[in-house]
């Protein structure tokens, strides 16, 4: 299934809206859009403490609510493309509900062209023992603005593997909120951002452990070049009573120029007694010994650097569950590193 939106409006003519078996689609358009959205959430509370999310709700004119029926494994990924032309503002809205024991892969691609702006809100509810793979890929034009929020709740035994990859855009801001609501809920979060030129990429993540035996492993990598700026604020909050919680938060960054900037703040807030938590952040340059090693094998200095940058990114990209997507994203990153060809692709 492929759903293509332009400036927040679904384009059925270029979409393939026939969902896989066991998956239903509901369009959130027209005057009833907001009511349909609330209905799709089934009263699952969504705090409106964020001005842009509120603006998104107020401006809501189209969107999709997707539901995967209990026990169903959706065949093929659900692919949503949010495009937007120059001088346009898009308010994208998506709701995904996985019924108990179901599983699916959702890919959201954000690709604004020219000086466009997108304000996206994605709500995902993973009911008991469901399995979600969610991939957000932002590869907008250099002048595009992207603001996005994902609110994901996991009930007992649900598992979510989440990816956030930001390669383009002038100004990018992501808020990822994951709530581990039921016992044994578990998430793996993988993030990658690349800020070169004068681009600004800001990732804010928050994971709430609200039940016993919940697990979170979060790993973000950032690359800043030119006068680019990358921000990572990752917060993991273990609430009272969420005993046996297991949380790991890692952020590693690569600075490629003197003007580039990375600001990182990994945070743990723990109110339970019996937990296992770790966090750490590092920021560094390319390793001169590695560059020399590659050059000593006949690899040119620039190519050696590009290989090492791509290798750094591959630690995240390589976790993508679809091989063709790994190659695609490596290619996208490569096209943003000048003169980079098929880096790191095995023969």
Stretch that binds other proteins, among 126-134, 204-212, 235-243, 303-311 (CB under 8 A): 303-311
Considering the complex, what minimum distance in angstroms separates the CB of residue 220 from other proteins?
A: 16
* Total of residues contacting other proteins (CB under 8 A): 29
296, 323, 324, 338: which one binds other proteins (CB under 8 A)? 296
Considering the complex, what minimum distance in angstroms separates the CB of residue 265 from other proteins?
A: 25
Considering the complex, what minimum distance in angstroms separates the CB of residue 314 from other proteins?
A: 4
User: Is 271 among the residues that bind other proteins (CB under 8 A)?
Assistant: no
Instruction: Return all residues near 39 (Cβ < 8 A) that are at least 6 apart.
Output: none
User: Is 345 among the residues that bind other proteins (CB under 8 A)?
Assistant: yes
What one-character DSSP code corresponds to residue 73? B
**Quick one: 235 or 314, whose CB is closer to other proteins?**
314
**Quick one: 43 or 347, whose CB is closer to other proteins?**
347
What one-character DSSP code corresponds to residue 198? T
* Strand order across the beta sheet in which 103-112 lies: 9-10, 2-6, 78-84, 103-112, 131-138, 159-166, 186-195, 215-224, 246-255, 276-284
265, 287, 321, 335: which one binds other proteins (CB under 8 A)? 287
- Which tokens in the block code for residue 321? 């569950």
User: Is 337 among the residues that bind other proteins (CB under 8 A)?
Assistant: no
User: Is 346 among the residues that bind other proteins (CB under 8 A)?
Assistant: yes
User: Is 290 among the residues that bind other proteins (CB under 8 A)?
Assistant: yes
Nearest to 282 by CA among 220, 227, 225, 235: 220
Cα–Cα distance measured from residue 275 to residue 70, given in angstroms and rounded to the nearest whole number: 32
Considering the complex, what minimum distance in angstroms separates the CB of residue 286 from other proteins?
A: 11
User: Is 192 among the residues that bind other proteins (CB under 8 A)?
Assistant: no
Cα–Cα distance measured from residue 139 to residue 116, given in angstroms and rounded to the nearest whole number: 13
Name the one residue in this structure whose structure tokens are 């189209």: 62
**Quick one: 305 or 336, whose CB is closer to other proteins?**
305
Stretch that binds other proteins, among 38-46, 123-131, 140-148, 281-289 (CB under 8 A): 281-289
φ and ψ at residue 334, rounded to 5 degrees: -60, -40
Contact 158, 125 (CB under 8 A): no
**Quick one: 62 or 252, whose CB is closer to other proteins?**
252
Instruction: Return all residues near 285 (Cβ < 8 A) that are at least 6 apart.
Output: 254, 255, 256
288, 324, 338, 339: which one binds other proteins (CB under 8 A)? 288
Cα–Cα distance measured from residue 135 to residue 328, given in angstroms and rounded to the nearest whole number: 13
Interface residues with other proteins (CB under 8 A)? 287-290, 292-301, 303-304, 307-308, 310-315, 318, 344-347
């Amino acid at each position: 299934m492929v759903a293509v939106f332009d400036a927040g409006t679904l384009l059925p003519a270029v979409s393939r809206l026939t969902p896989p078996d066991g998956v239903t689609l509901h369009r959130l358009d027209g005057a009833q859009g907001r009511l349909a959205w609330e209905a799709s959430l089934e009263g699952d509370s969504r705090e409106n403490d964020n001005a842009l999310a509120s603006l998104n709700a107020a401006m809501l004119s189209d969107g999709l609510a997707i539901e995967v029926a209990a026990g169903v494994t959706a065949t093929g990924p659900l692919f949503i493309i949010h495009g937007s032309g120059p001088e346009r503002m898009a308010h994208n809205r998506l709701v995904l509900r996985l019924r108990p024991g179901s599983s699916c892969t959702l890919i959201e691609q954000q690709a604004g062209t020219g000086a466009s702006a997108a304000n996206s809100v994605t709500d995902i509810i993973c009911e008991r023992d469901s399995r979600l793979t969610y991939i957000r890929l932002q590869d907008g034009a250099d002048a595009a603005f992207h603001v996005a929020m994902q609110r994901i709740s996991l009930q007992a035994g649900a598992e979510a593997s989440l990816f956030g990859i930001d390669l383009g855009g002038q100004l990018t801001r992501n808020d990822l909120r994951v709530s581990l609501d039921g016992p044994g809920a578990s998430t793996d979060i993988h993030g990658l951002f690349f800020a070169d030129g004068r681009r600004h990429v800001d990732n804010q993540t928050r994971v709430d452990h609200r039940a016993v035996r919940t697990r979170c492993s979060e790993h973000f990598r950032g690359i800043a070049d030119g006068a680019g700026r990358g921000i990572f604020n990752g917060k993991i909050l273990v609430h009272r009573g969420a005993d046996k919680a297991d949380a790991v938060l890692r952020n590693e960054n690569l600075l490629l120029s003197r003007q580039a900037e990375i600001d990182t703040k990994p945070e743990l807030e723990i109110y339970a007694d019996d937990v296992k938590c770790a966090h750490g952040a590092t920021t560094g340059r390319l390793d001169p010994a590695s560059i020399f090693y590659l050059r000593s094998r006949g690899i040119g200095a620039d190519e050696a650097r590009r290989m090492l940058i791509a290798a750094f990114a591959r630690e995240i990209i390589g976790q993508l569950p679809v091989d063709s997507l790994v190659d695609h994203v490596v290619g996208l990153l490569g096209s943003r590193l000048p003169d980079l060809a098929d880096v790191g692709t095995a023969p």
